[in-house]
Each structure stands twice: as C-alpha cells, then as structure tokens.
Amino acid sequence: MSAPSPLLAYAPWQARYALLRAAAPLGLFMLLGGIPLWGIISGVGLEAVRQPGEAQSAAMLAYGQMMTLSMTLGALISVSGLVALDRERQYFRFLFSQPVVPWQYYLQQFVISAVLFAAAMALIPMGFGMLVIDVPVLPVVQSAFLYVVLFGSLALLCGALLNKDGLVFIAVLIFAVTLQQAEAAGALPGWLAAFANALPPFVAAQDVRAQWLAGQAAETGALIRVLLYSLGMLAAALFIVRRAPLAR
Amino acid sequence: MRAVDDVSFAVAPGEVLGIAGPNGAGKSTLIAMLLGFLSPDTGEVSVDGLRPRDYVQRSGVAYLPELMTLPLTWRTDEALDRLATLAGVPRAERMVTRERVIEAVGIGEHRHKRLKALSKGNLQRVGLAQALLMERRVVVFDEPTHGLDPVWTTRFRDIVASLRRSDRAIVIASHNLDELERLSDRVAIIDRGHIQRIVAVRDAVGDGAPRRWHVRVAAGFDALATEFPGSKSVSGVLECTVDVAELNRGLGAAIAQGALITSVTPAESSLEQAFRTAVAR
C-alpha cells in the first residue's frame, strides 16, 4: 500500500486543530444553554421534568435555545478565520513552502471542521436524552452540518478576501437575516426583495433546520438553495485562495 | 508603490547566492516572489522551469522565513512533526528525521517546550531545523542568523557549507555582509527595489581593482613603507591602497630587504566596498 499524500497524512493534525477550535466555545454555549435546564431540574426535580407537563415543556424550550445558540455561534467559530488567520499571522510561510496545494489544504480543513462540528453537536441531544427525554439526534446532526457548511463557506470566502473576516461575516449575517425576514413578511419592494434573496440564504437555512427539528421533511427548494449557495461560496473562496497572492 | 522593479538574476544549481540590502530594500519581497507567495505585476519568475508556486507545490522548498511565525502554543517536537508530515516525510521515518534535525541545531533540551517558552535564538534554531527536514533542491534562508548567538552563527555557516550540493541552489538574504561573503558565491546587492550590482565574491579580491590593505610587521616597517609610496601608518600598522599584484610585488621586495610580515588583511571586504558604492545615497 502506498503512503498517503502529505496532505492526507496531515489530516489528524487538522482534526486536532478543529477539535481544539470548536471545543471551548461549544462547551461554553452548552454550559450557558444548560444553565436554564439545570435551574428547571433543580426547581421541580428530575422526575417532574421527565413527565409530560409544564416542566418538560420548559425543559424542551431550554433545549431548543441551547441548540440554537450552540449551532449558530459554534458553526461560525469552528470554521471562521481559517485562511485569514494563517495569512495574518504568516503561518502560510511554513505551511506552503512544503509540497502542498493551499486550496486543497483549506478544503480538507473545511471538510474536517464541518464533519467534526456536526458530530460534536450530536452530544447535545444525546445528553438531553439521557437526562430528560429522548430527542432525535439525526436532525440535529443534519442541521449542524447544513449550518456549518453555509456559515463556513461564507467565512472562508470572507477570509480569502480580507483579513478582518469575522467582522465582515457578522455584518453580512445581520444584514442578510434582517432583509430576508422582512422579505418573508412581504415588507420589501420588488428590487429589494430580489436583493435579499441574492444574499446568503440564512433564513432559508433556519427554516430547513426548524422543519428537521420538528420531525418534518425539509422543503426541497430551500434545502437545495442553501446547499448550492454554500457550494458556490466555497468554490469562490477556494478559487481566490488559488489565484490571489498568499502574502498580502 | 513598487517594492521591487526591473530585477533580473538567475541562481544556478550548486550555487549559493546572497541577497544583500539595507532594511526595506526589497529582499523579502524578492524571496516572497521566489516562493510564489507574491506574483510580479510584470515579468516572470521561474524555478526549474516552473512557476514558483507550481514548483513549491510539486517539490517543496527548504525555507527559513525572516520571522519565526509558527503558532507559539505548539511544542517544538510537535511543530517539527507537523511540518515533517506536510513535507512528506513518511510516518515510519518521522521520529528519526525529527531527532536528526533537533540534534543538528542543538535544541534537544527544548524539544518538549512550547515555542512561546523559547528564546529568540532558540526559535530561530527551530526554524532552521524545519528547513532541514527534507533534502530539497532549492534552499531559501531569509535573515537566517537573526537572533543567533556567535556560537550558533558559526554553526549555521557549517550547516550551510554542508548543504552545498551540485544540484542544489541556495539563496540567502541578509543584511550581514560578513556572513554573505563567507557563505555565498555571488551576492546581489539590492536597494530601493533595484538590483544595484551582483558581486562575484570569490573572484572579487583578484579582480585587479585597488583595495585598502592593512599590513603588520614584526620588523622592517621602513622597508615596507618605502615599497608602498603614499601609504600611512595607523597605530603601527601600514595601510596602503593597491591591487593584489602590486601588493605581492611590494611585500616580496620588503621581505627581500629583511621585513618580517606577520599579517596582511583587507581593510574592508570587497563586498563591503561594493555595497557601500552600490547603496550610496
């Protein structure tokens, strides 16, 4: 059997980076989100939470909020800064004097980070299931993957273009979500509605996630739109990494 | 603003080319283009007939950047393991390779320390170690002895000497002229983005141009001074400005008259002289 390429052999190091990168914020969000749940359990007792009723509804609400927080911010943190940080801190000088293709390096890091993040998110429903009541794990993993691919590809694109990618990402996110929510409410004129729809489809991703978590099938059009848009941004980011100077 | 402009040079296999220049002259920009980290707006850079990035992606380059910019949370051995992996060192050979380069640059006692715990000189040695992980045909050192103590500066010269190979091109950018003169075959002097001169260091002493020399004698100073009209005595040392042929004739004549010569040294190196002329403002 031939030896793996240097880049494939480097995958475990990238996985370690992804885990270290995602673990702390993910743990923090789970903790923050878990505090209300802990409060409910402390107040009414574990048995009461496990029985259908108001306490369980409150626990389910806390679970949903913890999920939203962890999925949104965790997805952003786990894949943001990949290109920009290496460029800004000049790590690329060591990485890319080796026989490695930069865009392949970042694609591999992106895939590893996305898969590990989605897998890590499974811990939340599993933990909730052990403690309170069984909740489906697969929709959470699916949603986390969709989020991390959408957020990550935008973050990668921002990082390929600019050093301050985090700020730009947040600005685009807030701008797009605000416009798309207004568009969904039918409150925008035609041209602005078209513009809102041309922005990264955050609201469509929210809708797909909500459908999956509610145990429904996702609307195919929205799902395909989110995936295609993400792949488009990812391809654009990798193209820029390939063509633009590494030293800027 | 152009960092480098109208620059043209070639480095042959088996050659060590030095790049000298004051701060901000464009040395690091040149190196970034050589590695494909930057592309020229016009003109062409090629390494072994390929675009630099294509060459690096195919074969890799032994490169020591000016600044040691690896993540400081990495441990020394971890940094070398990671870069050895990317460099293509097979898994079975990784530990042996790592220990070989650790030994070569004398950082054994620091192998488990995080990079942030290392001194500037030791960090530079880690940088040098990673450049030695694989046998590469192109070696690029940017200010390689920056932060090294005198002992390791000397050791570095030995390492460069050991890297000389008929199929390997070595480029060293430095503002240390003494270092470049000792290590290089030719030195390109760059200033304000232009290559001002390329000096063939090995041939420079015998190029027929007059140079300043310091000659020390144990006896026969007057005989020596007679042979070099216009010379002057500086603290008992004769300083004269002649070419190599005239120097040898004068010394021979003085010795025939009983002078005992103890040393003959250039007052300044040929490279220093060329550098001073090239970057004169």
pLDDT in tens, A82-98: 888 888 888 999 999 99
Q: How far apart are CA B63 and CA A79, in angstroms?
A: 28
Which residue of B lies nearest to A7 if distances are taken between CA atoms? B86
**Gap between the Cα atoms of A206 and A187, Å rounded:** 19
Answer whether 0.90 is exceeded by the pTM: no
Residue in B with minimal Cα distance to A104: B57
In this complex, do A6 and B67 lie within 8 Å of one another by their Cβ atoms?
no
Residue B214 is predicted with a pLDDT of: 92
B80 to chain A: closest CA residue: A94
Instruction: Give buried/exposed letters for A32-58 (b at 16+ CB in 10 A, else e).
Output: ebbebbeebbeebeeeebeeeeebbeb
Q: Chain A contacts of B130, Cβ < 8 Å? A: 94
Q: What is the largest CA-CA distance in chain A?
A: 62
Q: Give the pLDDT band of residue B281 (cuts 50, 70, 90).
A: low
B119 Cβ neighbours under 8 A, 6+ residues apart:
B147
The three-class DSSP label of residue A233 is helix
CB pairs under 8 A between A and B: 71
Please check the confidence at residue A1 and state whether its pLDDT lies above 70.
no
CA–CA separation, A242 vs B245, rounded Å? 57
Q: For residue A177, what is the enclosing H or E element?
A: helix A165-184
Closest by Cβ to A13, choosing from B37, B85, B90 = B85
Burial annotation A227-237 (CB, 10 A radius, 16+ → b, else e): bebbeebbeeb
Chain A nearest-CA distance from B12, in A, is: 20
| Model confidence band, residue A31 (pLDDT cutoffs 50, 70, 90) | confident
Predicted local distance difference test score (pLDDT) of residue A81: 80
Q: Can you tell me the ipTM of this complex?
A: 0.83
User: Confidence band (pLDDT; 50, 70, 90) for B202?
Assistant: low
Residues of B in Cβ contact (< 8 Å) with A7: 86
Average pLDDT, chain B: 89
Torsion of CA A190, A196, A197, A201, to 10 degrees: -160
Query: In this structure, is the dihedral angle defined by the CA atoms of residues B66, B70, B71 and B77, taken in order, positive or negative?
Result: negative
* Mean pLDDT along residues A30-47: 83
- State the smallest CA–CA distance between residue A231 and chain B in angstroms: 25
- Main-chain phi, psi angles of A128, to 5 degrees: -65, -40
Task: State which H helix or E strand residue B262 sits in.
Answer: strand B260-266
Q: Looking at the DSSP assignment, which residues form a beta bridge with residue B265? A: B214
A88 CA: distance to closest CA in chain B (Å)? 10
Sheet holding B237-242, edge to edge: B232-234, B237-242, B211-219, B260-266
| Chain B residues within 8 A of A242 when measuring between CB atoms | none
Paired tokens of A242: 């390939």
Which regions of A84-243 does DSSP assign to beta strands (E)? none
* Identity of the residue in A3, A89, A98 whose CB atom sits nearest the CB atom of B83: A98
Q: What CA–CA distance (Å, rounded) separates B130 from B87?
A: 9
Give me Rg for the CA atoms of chain A.
Answer: 20
- Beta strand extents in B67-225 (DSSP E only): 138-142, 169-174, 186-191, 194-200, 211-219
pLDDT at residue B47 is higher than 90: yes
d(CA A111, nearest CA chain B) in Å: 18
Torsion region of B249: left, alpha or beta (phi above 0 gives left; psi -120 to 50 gives alpha):
alpha
Q: Which residues pair with B16 in a beta bridge?
A: B170
